[in-house]
């Protein structure tokens, strides 16, 4: 009896602890869902509005989805349908004649019955709507914005810059991770210190320099600087390279491999997740960059990138939000496809990079 009495509070305490864990789990989950919903709400708003016509934007019943009023053709004219309460229940009737206190409707199911007189204010009735998205915004926006040209320009700048930053950052990170030389740690700290240097501080000197050498109004200021190592990328790759066992390097060296051969045949194959992450980081950053192309490509509309083209389009056609939303959807389609195709390797590189093995 004493043992049984002693076990009840313990079981009750365990159940309370389990309930506490459940409450904490549900609270954290709910908070996460709220954050995700708030983060994705602008994206959902853009997607919904990309399929709306200009008339649907002005309709208060089509705020949350692209909907259009349902009409019925009677004697050669289209009349809107309303949900009308009748003795047989609520029916969807077409409003033919509008008056203040009474109106005449026609039943689309029985048009031969003639007009139906209904007592009441027709303005208080709810109209009938159908889901009616349109795809016309996309070809119009594609032609108006010249998205084919903007896609080409952005892809060339982003892809070539990505190749350059991978080559430079991989070589520099390999040097810091595998070679010992005087002042290595000091140089690495100086490189990391450049992270705190805002880009805007160096913008004017870079602009003057590139203008002086004749690179103004070209892609070179947006591509060539990325063939020099970037502190962020060097740090990520160095951390990953340091996690690769040196035994592999020594085995390759014993077999007669040079340091460059060790890099290409040992280090890089083992570091594909980190290299993929660095490459995608740069690609996405370059694809979305607005400030530097705006500064260095002044007056060269044939070289403009997608962010600049969309901004100009939005400034001119701001009264047509459907076109702007559809253009934005098409502009983000390529980065989204690239991310989902490389999602597994990309996330693996982010998780493993920076973790000391």
Read off the tokens for 221: 């200021």
43-59 confidence digits (pLDDT tens): 888 888 999 988 888 88
Query: Is 347's pLDDT higher than 80?
Result: no
Q: Which residue has the tokens 């997740």?
A: 273
Is pLDDT above 50 for 345?
Answer: yes
Give, to the nearest 10 degrees, the angle between helix 147-178 and helix 321-341: 30
Stretch 244-261: mean pLDDT: 88
* Predicted pLDDT of residue 51: 92
Three-class secondary structure assignment of the chain: CHHHHHHHHHHHHHHHHHHHHHHHHHHHHHHHHHHHHHHHHHHHHHHHHHCCCHHHHCCHHHCCCCEEECEEEECCEEEEEEEEEECCEEEEEEEEECCCCEEEEECCCCHHHCEEEEECCHHHCEECEEECCCCCHHHHHHHHHCHHHHHHHHHHHHHHHHHHHHHHHHHHHHHHHHCCCCCHHHHHHHHHHHHHCCHHHHHHHHHHHHHHCCCCCCCHHHHHHHHCCCHHHHHHHHHHHHCCCHHHHHHHHHCCCCHHHHHHHHHHHHCHHHHHHHHHHHHHHHHHCCHHHHHHCCCCHHHCCHHHHHHHHHHHCCCCHHHHHHHHHHHHHHHHHHHHHCHHHHHHHHHHCCCCC
Provide the token pair at 209.
Answer: 């320099």
Query: Percentage of the chain surpassing pLDDT 90?
Result: 34
Higher-confidence residue: 357 or 261?
A: 261
Token pair listed for 156: 């060339």
Closest CA to 282 of 159, 106, 173, 122: 159
Q: Can you say whether residue 75 is alpha, beta or left, with left for phi > 0 and alpha for psi between -120 and 50 degrees?
A: left
Is residue 3 scored above 60 in pLDDT? no
Q: What is the pTM of this model?
A: 0.78
CATH class of 140-352: mainly alpha
State how far the Cα of 342 lies from the Cα of 262, in Å rounded to an integer: 26
| Residue spans per domain, the chain | 38-67, 71-127, 140-352
Residue pLDDT, tens place only, 207-243: 999 999 999 889 999 999 999 888 999 999 998 898 8
pLDDT digits (tens, 9 = 90+) for 148-162: 999 999 999 999 999
Question: What crossing angle do the helices spanning 272-288 and 147-178 adopt, rounded to 10°?
Answer: 140
Cβ atoms 237, 203 nearer than 8 A: no
């Amino acid at each position: 009896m004493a043992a049984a009495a002693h076990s009840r509070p313990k079981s009750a305490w365990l159940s309370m602890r389990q309930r506490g864990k459940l409450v904490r789990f549900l609270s954290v989950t709910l908070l996460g869902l709220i954050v995700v919903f708030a983060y994705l709400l602008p994206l959902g708003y853009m997607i919904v509005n990309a399929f709306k016509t200009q008339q649907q934007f002005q309709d208060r019943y089509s705020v949350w989805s692209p909907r259009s009023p349902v009409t019925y053709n009677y004697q050669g004219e289209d009349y809107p349908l309303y949900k009308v309460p009748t003795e047989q229940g609520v029916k969807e009737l077409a409003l033919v004649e509008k008056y203040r206190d009474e109106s005449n409707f026609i039943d689309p199911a029985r048009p031969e019955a003639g007009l139906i007189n209904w007592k009441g204010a027709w303005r208080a009735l709810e109209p009938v709507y159908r889901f009616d998205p349109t795809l016309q915004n996309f070809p119009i926006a594609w032609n108006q914005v010249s998205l084919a040209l903007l896609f080409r320009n952005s892809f060339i700048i982003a892809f070539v810059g990505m190749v350059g930053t991978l080559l430079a950052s991989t070589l520099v990170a390999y040097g810091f991770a595998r070679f010992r030389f005087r002042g290595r740690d000091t140089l690495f700290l100086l490189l990391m210190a450049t992270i705190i240097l805002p880009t805007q501080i160096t913008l004017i000197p870079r602009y003057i320099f590139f203008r002086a050498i004749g690179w103004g109004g070209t892609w070179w200021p947006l591509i060539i600087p990325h063939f020099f190592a970037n502190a962020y990328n060097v740090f990520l790759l160095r951390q990953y390279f340091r996690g690769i066992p040196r035994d592999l390097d020594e085995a390759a060296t014993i077999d007669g491999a040079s340091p460059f051969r060790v890099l290409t045949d040992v280090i890089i194959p083992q570091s594909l997740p980190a290299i993929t992450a660095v490459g995608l980081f740069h690609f996405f950053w370059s694809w979305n960059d607005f400030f530097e192309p705006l500064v260095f490509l002044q007056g060269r509309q044939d070289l403009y990138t997608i962010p600049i083209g969309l901004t100009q389009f939005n400034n001119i056609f701001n009264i047509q939000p459907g076109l702007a939303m559809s253009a934005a959807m098409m502009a983000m389609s390529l980065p989204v496809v690239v991310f989902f195709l490389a999602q597994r390797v990309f996330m693996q590189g982010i998780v493993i990079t920076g973790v000391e093995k």
